[in-house]
């Protein structure tokens, strides 16, 4: 019976050693797991902080982008207004250009007609110049005729004067003769 108890005690000692070893192993494993948990917790904390920082940066970036977008929208609206004004101005200029083109065409037509008239007038002038030359020639001849006629008239006037003087002399002579005859 003592041997049986010894055997049982040995068995219990063996089991206790095995349990102690198992406990030591489990403690080591627990310690290792606790360390891993701490590491992972720190890693998670670091990751959360990093994520928070990133989120804050993203918020700032989004806010800046929204501000920039607002500015760009305003700029875009201004540019669209300018574009609309320019389109209206272009339409007005096109209308004016169309009117100016029509006016230029009319002026070109008028100019062509005026050139044609000038050509005709030059022809008429040339013809009139020829006629004037002929008339001047005729006038020159007439002037010569007039000069000759004046000379002829002067000669006639001289003859007339001389005739009157002779007549006066004759009348005087007749008076004298009559007076003599009476005496």
pLDDT tens digits, 91-136? 999 999 999 999 999 999 999 999 999 999 999 999 999 999 999 9
Kindly tell me the sign of the dihedral angle through the C-alpha atoms of 168, 174, 177, 182.
Answer: negative
Length of the chain: 183
152 has a pLDDT exceeding 70: yes
- What's the token pair of residue 122? 């030059």
4 pLDDT band, cuts 50/70/90, is: confident
The C-alpha atoms of residue 120 and residue 124 are separated, in whole angstroms, by: 6
Is the model's pLDDT at 30 over the cut of 90?
yes
Query: pLDDT digits over 54-84, tens only?
Result: 999 999 999 999 999 999 999 999 999 999 9
Residue 88 has pLDDT above 90, yes or no: yes
The three-class DSSP label of residue 151 is helix
CA dist 87 to 75, 94, 95, 100, 182, Å? 18, 10, 12, 19, 128
3-state secondary structure of 1: coil
Compute the distance between CA of residue 7 and CA of residue 108 in angstroms, rounded to an integer. Answer: 139
For residue 1, what pLDDT band results from cuts at 50, 70 and 90? Answer: low
């Amino acid at each position: 019976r003592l041997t049986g108890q010894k055997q049982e005690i040995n068995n219990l000692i063996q089991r206790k050693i095995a349990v102690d070893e198992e406990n030591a192993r489990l403690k080591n494993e627990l310690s290792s797991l606790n360390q891993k948990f701490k590491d992972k917790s720190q890693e998670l904390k670091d990751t959360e902080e990093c994520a928070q920082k990133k989120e804050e940066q993203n918020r700032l970036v989004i806010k800046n982008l929204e501000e920039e977008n607002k500015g760009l929208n305003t700029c875009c609206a201004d540019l669209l207004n300018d574009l609309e004004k320019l389109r209206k101005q272009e339409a007005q200029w096109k209308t004016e250009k169309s009117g100016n083109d029509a006016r230029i065409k009319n002026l070109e037509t008028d100019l062509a007609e005026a050139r044609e008239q000038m050509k005709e007038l030059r022809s008429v002038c040339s013809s009139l110049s020829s006629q004037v030359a002929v008339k001047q020639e005729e006038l020159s001849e007439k002037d010569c005729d007039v000069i000759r006629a004046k000379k002829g008239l002067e000669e006639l006037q001289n003859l007339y004067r001389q005739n009157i003087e002779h007549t006066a002399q004759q009348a005087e002579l007749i008076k004298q003769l009559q007076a003599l005859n009476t005496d």
